[in-house]
């Protein structure tokens, strides 16, 4: 879909033939802004209304930003001629709601966080509308930025990579992703989570000969041939590796198993799906070679075959880069490795140091009881304000 720019959108009008566009106050407390974003349902592939609201607010309530729309992605950037550019990126979509929209507030002790605080509950509070709210708030209120800024709010992050709006921007508007450092507002409990691990999945398959189970000696059981695979997985010792002070922990795990025909039939086909989460010092090719080495005995014997079914490269932390090092300093040196895969990998592939930094505990993402401490939203906003104004 082509990009659209120019023209101020009236947030009170239905300029897309839908319901009225919700009004967002970008200068308000980022906690209140988070609540307003949560109340706009935006399950993947249904982000039009929230994109409308974000676009209208950026056009009307910020100065010095060029704002464009690309499908349901909203992009904004300054061009003040400052020596460095920081890119702030966040996805607008959520997983399907689970009776947790609109938002609600609570106060008191939270056993998960182990703290007494006020909490904001609702779909997206953690993943990642609180991060979006912080970025939007800073775009409207930052008075003397030390860096030029690019803001990227994109769609379809929570579903298959082919739909990811950031990928569409990389393909159609690559100049909008140029930056000295990128910050993704993914939930990190307010700490810098640097880089990300890579991931690949393989299917290990075995074949046999079907027979009646009463005459099992006449068949060849495909499931039994996978016994060595499971034994190897149970004995596997994952590697730990330190990169730029971040310890990454790898993991090789069976995530699905299939086979069997009926309760009285020897199966002639079976498979195990294995997921390898690998440290970012390995390429996809190196990671796949390692998996092949792990199962070399079964592969060499001809008992099984191996097929790569999915892969995504990791991202090195890049904390030694001056722009990233300044962010670590602003965060009082608090950083750790990112174990899951995130879109920082896309920036790493472009040669741009990228980190994850946002409010909320990632272990609460996608849960029906998703929530975030309101103090954490404000702390991240203050941290980034200090860094961007330095």
How is the beta sheet containing 104-110 ordered, strand by strand?
Answer: 104-110, 115-121, 371-373
Q: Is the dihedral of CA 166, 170, 176, 181 positive or negative?
A: positive
Q: Is 220 a catalytic residue?
A: no
Annotated active-site residue in 52, 157, 180, 361? 157
> How many CB atoms are closer than 10 A to CB 261?
12
Annotated active-site residue in 47, 93, 186, 361? 93
61-75: buried (b, 16+ CB within 10 Å) or exposed (e) per residue? bbeebebbbbbbbbb
Retrieve residue 251's tokens: 């993991």
Choose among 25, 5, 49: nearest CA to 140.
Answer: 25
CB contact at 8 A, 75 and 176: yes
Retrieve residue 380's tokens: 């991240």
Retrieve residue 332's tokens: 């009082």
Q: What is the CA radius of gyration of the chain?
A: 24
**How far, in Å, CA of 210 to CA of 219, rounded?**
5
**How far, in Å, CA of 34 to CA of 27, rounded?**
12
CA-to-CA dists, residue 317 to 75, 93, 280, 355, angstroms: 25, 26, 8, 7
How is the beta sheet containing 305-312 ordered, strand by strand?
Answer: 251-259, 269-278, 198-207, 305-312
Q: Is 93 a catalytic residue?
A: yes
**How far, in Å, CA of 336 to CA of 187, rounded?**
13
- Which active-site residues does the annotation give? 93, 157
């Amino acid at each position: 879909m082509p990009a659209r720019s120019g023209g101020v959108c009236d947030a009170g009008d239905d300029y897309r033939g839908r319901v009225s566009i919700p009004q967002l106050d970008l200068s308000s407390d980022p906690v209140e802004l988070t609540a307003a974003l949560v109340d706009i349902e935006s399950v993947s592939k249904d982000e039009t209304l929230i994109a409308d609201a974000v676009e209208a607010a950026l056009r009307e309530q910020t100065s010095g930003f060029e704002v464009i729309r690309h499908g349901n992605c909203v992009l904004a950037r300054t061009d003040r001629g400052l020596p460095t550019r920081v890119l702030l990126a966040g996805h607008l979509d959520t997983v399907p709601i689970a009776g947790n929209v609109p938002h609600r507030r609570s106060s008191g002790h939270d056993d998960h966080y182990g703290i007494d605080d006020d909490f904001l509950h609702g779909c997206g509070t953690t993943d990642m509308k609180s991060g979006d709210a912080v970025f939007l708030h800073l775009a409207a209120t930052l008075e003397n930025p030390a860096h030029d800024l690019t803001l990227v709010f994109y769609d379809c992050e929570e579903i298959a990579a082919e739909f990811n709006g950031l990928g569409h921007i990389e393909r159609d508007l690559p100049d909008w992703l140029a930056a000295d450092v990128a910050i993704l507002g993914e939930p990190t409990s307010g700490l810098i989570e640097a880089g990300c691990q890579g991931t690949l999945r393989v299917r290990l398959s075995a074949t046999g000969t079907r027979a009646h189970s009463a005459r099992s000696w006449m068949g060849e059981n495909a499931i039994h041939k996978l016994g060595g695979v499971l034994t190897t997985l149970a004995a596997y010792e994952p590697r730990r590796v330190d990169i730029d002070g971040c310890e990454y922990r790898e993991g090789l795990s069976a995530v699905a198993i299939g086979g069997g025909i009926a309760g009285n039939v020897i199966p002639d086909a079976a498979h195990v799906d294995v997921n390898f989460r690998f440290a970012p010092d390995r390429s996809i090719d190196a990671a796949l070679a390692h998996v092949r080495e792990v199962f070399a005995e079964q592969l060499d014997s001809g008992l099984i075959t191996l097929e790569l079914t999915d892969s995504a490269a990791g991202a090195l932390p890049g904390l030694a880069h001056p722009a990233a090092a300044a962010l670590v300093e602003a965060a009082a040196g608090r950083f750790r490795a990112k174990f899951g895969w995130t879109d920082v990998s896309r920036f790493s592939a472009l040669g741009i140091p990228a980190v994850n930094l946002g409010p909320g505990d990632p272990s609460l993402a996608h849960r029906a009881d998703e929530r975030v401490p309101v103090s954490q939203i404000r702390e991240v906003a203050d941290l980034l304000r200090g860094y961007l104004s330095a």
